[in-house]
Amino acid sequence: MIFGWYQKLLLKIPDWLAFPLGACFKCFTGQVTFWAYLIVYFKEYSLIDHLFFVSAGMFLSVIYNYIWDKCIN
């Protein structure tokens, strides 16, 4: 795999750090959506929109993972 080296790196560090960096898909999606919203909407920031954006991203990642597990694999 192309990112096999990254997975080996994640297995060596503690879980509290590895999960947001990609060991947990929900944690990783939460981090990506959290920072993406801050970068894109920095000037017109809204807490409610930020919470919705992160929640929607995590929700969609769970649905995608469910579909991937049940239908494709």
* pLDDT tens column, 6-52: 989 999 999 999 999 989 999 999 999 999 999 999 999 999 999 99
Domains held by the chain: number: 1
26, 34 Cβ separation under 8 angstroms: no
Judge whether 11 lies within some domain.
no
The predicted pLDDT at position 1 comes to: 76
pTM for this structure? 0.80
Q: Is the pLDDT of residue 54 over 70?
A: yes
Q: Which residues contact 37 (CB under 8 A, 6 or more apart)?
A: 49, 50, 53, 54
Domain limits for position 72? 25-73
Alpha helices in 1-73 (DSSP H): 4-12, 15-18, 25-40, 47-67
The predicted pLDDT at position 51 comes to: 97
61, 25 Cβ separation under 8 angstroms: yes
Q: Is the pLDDT of residue 73 over 70?
A: no
